[in-house]
Structure 1
């Protein structure tokens, strides 16, 4: 009898696995039938495919180099610019070994992740309810939830099966405080974190809310043994994850990487997002409220009517049966889902795309919880809301069967009807497949290039939506060769990438080639077929530029060059630009001008932000260190901003800034009277401009150099950067007029905004990714001082006559009247 029961249990699990595999194949159609033929997203999807393929490859060859990914050269620990997806490799690795094709393996991984997530939710519900029908329905609701499936372009969000298993193990640990259950919960939590830092934090929030609710309502669980063992397991998990997360902390310190509440404000869920259905959903797409604010693709969070109805039934039963164990679980899950819903709204309430600036709890967690600031898209917490609703729906269905399924026939009818409704609720249109990256003639010619680091142009500065597609494809295609690339794509970009990209905006100039050679780049690949007509003007010269050796060329396609250039070395001189007097105990970003007078100055390796030693000698001596980005190489002169805080005591001081290869000194008086600035008073727009106009006629997509010398004729300091603490300390009357200080929108931070309009209609158009595009000041501009603005912009890609307009901007808002306008005809 015991053997028969065991076989029956095994058979039921095999059936569940096959059920969810079939559901995954159907729910991801046509992906399972075209695994190697396309990608679900040509940008982020290809990037995640590359990350998984890199991880599986390097762990088999040299695990110690896991974070030394061959992109964003010469930056170290480059993999830490993105999620490392390590916890997904036990599934992805065998798929890659079997197929030898990263795209095939990534697509198969996504299909299997849907099945495994459903199976994990099934295990949780089966343990809690004892109903296989309810467990199948709940697992299916979450595995194919429209909230999940709307994120198919984000492969990193699909390795979610550890979350239901963590809840299952934690529930058992709370009931008995057994080590085996605690170890299982800790292991699942660690695996979820290693699969995705995003999902790890989401799970931590959900888990903390669930445990808090269980302990609050069930005093019997609050034992000393539980507390001690739980603390030990949590500490052990944290230590284990420390090694995985350490490169991210190191990179954050090296490059100054951090998110701001601006991201959370823009990417938080709208209040009506939970009524906004995924457009691909057949029963709901286009029938419910279509809330389309910024980044709408992150905010399709309507879970479906069936899951809502069953979850409501579960809650009604749970609050009427408070003493039952399943009722306690249901109420704890409901509380966790409510917390996730509230945090998904981000730092401020939004309604139909209108930001109300009503503070929400997310803002407090952003500043108080270590690592929480890495969560760029709060709306993705809707995944945890979907999980909690699916679990509640499974509980609701189990109670419905228990109440009305008094006979086998009735139970069968309820089960069949429920599963049919679930299938209808999760039904959606076939997924869209995009062409996979394929090698070009230039890629095939790369075998002729030296094996050292190289760069492809056009090298984007991410002013256009398609730039991510361009770079992620290059990364995937060069992975088999192991070549290091200056190119790369991620949510973060090192300053070295942006600097080299700006050097290459004007073609193979001597300055650009010296910068590449100084960095150690040995080859240059040019893709004419990926350029606009305007870009080809600079990169298709009649003669090979000096310092380049032509290795391959094909008309209209591309060219491959060896870089053979040795920059003439030059010493580095530095001067500080200060007003005669500064306010005491205030934060400023002061201008430091660097100059290489006799050739090219090359920064010492490694490429990273440099620590500058800042010392004040005078009435109250003090010394501090600040990390800033210095150029990789420099010809001529450039001004950079150095943040520092002035001494508190008034008097005369000698300010010294010491960095690699330079020392700059300047005398300055520190006064006790506060200097008015744009944080405590409105911008004064008394500004004079001196600027050469751009060419009146350009080609579509051509890069334009906009230059302007701006003079601050007002009485306020134009601040380049402010902190939330400074905004908190600003005048109360200013805060009443500008309540956005807490949301880090850059209040008081001055920049130059560029706005494009059609001349005939006056309608504003988007050129690149934003309208208007804002360029922050590099350093504070004091009254009667000047600032040199120089930026390359893309011309519109549609022919016509346009007006490019420049304004001063405070935070997100252009606050000054147009200060320069240029009429430009695009051909």
Structure 2
């Protein structure tokens, strides 16, 4: 049994490496982008993991030195605490943050497959069919579209939560209740989005496996333990996040812009392998098509599997997740159901992107597909048919070769020359509020790691930064220079391509003295002498 488990795990590692090629060959120097058009988010997530690895447990953990002098800046986005701890171990081993990030991503994909394998085993499907379900779990299209957003690849805690519910329904116990609480907490702590979504959707799955006439005191005790354990683990983090982000809201326009349309579910990814055989138009918005083979297997599971109750509730879960992903684009006359969810469910007013419910659409579809593999496996030539279908389904949606971006030097000379008490402004500020405009900011956060800077990138931007951002278009001039100095800035890290002779002379007149320059950045220090 142990040997077989290791063989399956190794096979899943191989599948993860193959489906993400050429990631493993450039893992020390490149980051994957998924459907991202810039490296801003991968670089920001790299900084996030590095911050947790270096500072978790310290008094200043939540006060990351971005958006200086704002407090609680690390709470403005997903802290990803468990992921950061795993990253810390890998960085200790490799001493290379980029390699550690990529190894962590491969580990997450492997665990996604491992979770779906164990879900299949909990449903008593044949070993081979469960192994193939795990392969589909590794290559889930939504996950591969979001490879540039690390936290959105982490599905395995939610799947393990569903597996634990299955086992707990059959034989409730204290340890299963505590285990369920752990998986719920990990879902939230690794991906806040998925944690909130799980609260809505796990009860649907639970209704499919629980026989209500068989419930007894042990079931209620186990559920109480799971909720209590999850609350104890989540509450400290959620409370701190709520304290530091209570001033932030998402506009209806922003939420609607990041809500899915039904058309997104019919548009295949034009970067997937299938597009090389059947060319498709680039999708308008997020490509959320789950794949033809996955839909086919899910249909077999929904229509033909003997466990009609389970199949029915999985269909309900997939449909509910799809409707939720439409966010504010879903209207029933003048009523928008998602607006009610924002009003009554804590945390949903902070979620900018309802389309991410598509992850749970595909999760439910893959659970149905697992039942479909169970049905087909029992047929004549069933194992061979299942193998061919899974191979076709995996190749259909694979993004090979994966879009990668080389990461510049993380310890450049300009960053090494900053003194310990420096407060930095990166010049120029981004030319827009769009994510790609912040790529150089996210890179500099890694390069000048731990150095206070007035710039930053995050899920939320504090008011002080927004006011500064709005005024910096006219820099360099006396007004913006004085504003930077009042904020506490002592050094300017100026992009060399932006720096002209004229701008250098203006900076000198404003009291900034050049202390270092190379092809990347020039450093100016504010000369406070009379």
Length-normalised TM-score, structure 1: 0.60
Secondary structure in structure 1 of the residue aligned to 2:524: strand
Q: Deviations over 1:147-204 (max 9, x none)?
A: 2211111111112211111001112222333211111111011011110101212222
Displacement after TM superposition at 1:315 (Å): 1.2
Superposed, 1:115-264 pairs within 5 Å as: 115-215=110-210, 218-253=211-246, 256-264=247-255
Query: Residue 485 of structure 2 aligns with which residue?
Result: 517
In angstroms, what is the RMSD of aligned CA positions? 2.6
Runs in 1 of length 4+ with deviation above 6 angstroms? none
Identify the range of structure 1 (462-471 vs 81-90) with the bigger mean alpha-carbon deviation: 462-471
Aligned counterpart in structure 2 of residue 452 of structure 1, from 422, 430, 433:
422
- Distance in structure 2 (CA, Å) of the matches to 1:286 and 1:419: 18
Relative to structure 1, the CA distance from residue 247 to residue 312 in structure 2 (aligned partners, 3 Å threshold; closer, same or farther) is: same
Which sections of structure 2, spanning at least 5 residues, go unmatched? Answer: 34-38
3-state SS, counterpart of residue 2 of structure 2 = helix
Distance 1:359 1:134 in 2: 43
**3-state SS of the aligned residue for 2:417?**
helix
CA shift, 1:446, in A, is: 4.7
> Residues 566 and 181 from structure 1, CA distance in 2 versus in 1: closer, same or farther, beyond 3 angstroms?
farther
Q: Corresponding residue for 1:431?
A: 402
The 1-side partners of 2:144 and 2:415 are apart by: 39
Which secondary structure state, in structure 2, belongs to the residue aligned with residue 562 of structure 1?
A: strand
Alignment of 1:457-468 (within 5 A): 457-460=427-430, 462-463=432-433, 466-468=436-438
Pick the aligned partner of 1:92 from 76, 87, 95.
87
Conserved 8 A contact 2:43-2:443: yes
Q: Distance in 1 between matches of 2:85 and 2:521?
A: 39
Equivalence for 1:281: 272
Work out which of the residue numbers 315, 328, 335 in structure 1 matches 2:309: 328
- Distance in structure 1 (CA, Å) of the matches to 2:340 and 2:507: 59
Q: Distance in 2 between matches of 1:90 and 1:147?
A: 25
Deviation for aligned residue 1:96: 1.2
The aligned runs of 1:206-605 (5 Å cut-off) are: 206-215=201-210, 218-253=211-246, 256-284=247-275, 287=278, 290=281, 292-293=283-284, 296=285, 299-318=286-305, 321=306, 326-349=307-330, 359-402=335-378, 404-405=379-380, 410-438=381-409, 443-444=413-414, 446-447=416-417, 449=419, 451-460=421-430, 462-463=432-433, 466-479=436-449, 482-529=450-497, 531=498, 536=500, 539-541=503-505, 544-553=508-517, 558-565=521-528
> What is the SS of the residue equivalent to 1:434?
strand
Counterpart in 1 of 2:75? 80
Distance 1:98 1:515 in 2: 44
Structure 2 CA distance for aligned equivalents of residues 464 and 538 of structure 1: 28
| Separation of aligned partners in 1, 2:391 and 2:520 | 53
Q: Secondary structure at the match of 2:330?
A: strand
Q: 2:49 aligns with which of 49, 52, 60?
A: 52
Give the drift of 1:542: 5.8
Cα distance, 1:465 vs. partner? 5.2
Counterpart secondary structure, 1:220: helix
Q: Work out the CA distance in 2 between the residues paired with 1:419 and 1:507.
A: 56
Q: Is the 8 A contact 1:87 1:192 kept in 2?
A: no
Partner Cα distance (2:385, 2:342) in 1: 45
Q: Secondary structure at the match of 2:505?
A: coil
Q: Which residue of 2 aligns with 1:28?
A: 20
Change (3 A) 1:537 1:498: farther
Distance (Å, rounded) in 1 between the aligned partners of 2:208 and 2:276: 35
Q: Deviations over 1:7-34 (max 9, x none)?
A: xx21221121011111100010000111
CA distance in 1, matches of 2:415, 2:255: 44
- Tell me how far apart the structure 1 counterparts of residues 309 and 300 of structure 2 sit (CA, whole Å): 15
1:71–1:487: 8 Å Cα contact kept in structure 2? yes
**SS of residue matched to 1:63:** coil
Map residues 1-16 of structure 1 onto 2, 5 A cutoff: 9-16=1-8
1:420 CA drift (Å):
3.2
Do the aligned partners of 2:136 and 2:393 also contact (CA within 8 Å) in 1?
A: yes
Higher helix share: 2
C-alpha spacing 1:285/1:247, structure 2 compared with 1 (3 Å):
farther
CA distance in structure 2 between the aligned counterparts of 1:15 and 1:67, rounded to whole angstroms? 41
Aligned residues, how many?
525
Describe the shift of the 1:359–1:107 C-alpha distance in structure 2 as closer, same or farther (beyond 3 A).
Answer: farther
Q: Following the alignment from structure 1 to structure 2, what is the Cα–Cα distance between the partners of residues 557 and 109?
A: 29
Q: Quote how far apart the aligned CAs of 1:543 are.
A: 6.8
The question of whether the paired residues in 1 share the 8 Å contact of 2:376 and 2:386 is answered with no
- Distance, in Å, in 2 between the alignment partners of 1:338 and 1:244 is 31
Cα distance in 1 between the residues matched to 2:31 and 2:398: 21
Q: Where do 5+ consecutive residues of structure 1 fail to align?
A: 1-8, 351-355, 568-827
CA offset at residue 445 of structure 1? 6.2
> Which of 1 and 2 has greater Rg?
1
Inter-partner Cα distance in structure 2 for 1:292 and 1:426: 14
Q: From the two aligned structures, give the one with the greater strand fraction.
A: 1
User: Cα distance, 1:463 vs. partner?
Assistant: 4.0
User: In 2, distance between residues paired with 1:541 and 1:170?
Assistant: 67
Q: Which is bigger in relative contact order (C-alpha 8 A, separation at least 6)?
A: 2
Q: 1:412 to 1:292 in 2, by over 3 A?
A: closer
CA distance in 2, matches of 1:450, 1:18: 45
Distance 1:417 1:460, change over 3 A: closer
Specify whether residues 82 and 175 from structure 1 end up closer, same or farther in structure 2 by C-alpha distance, changes over 3 A only.
Answer: same
Residue by residue over 1:315-367, the C-alpha shift from the partner in whole angstroms, topping out at 9 and shown as x without a partner, is: 1124xx4xxxx4433333222222111101112239xxxxx976443222111
C-alpha distance in 2, partners of 1:417/1:500? 57
Mapped contact 2:144–2:399 kept (Cα < 8 A): no
With normalisation by structure 2, the TM-score equals: 0.91
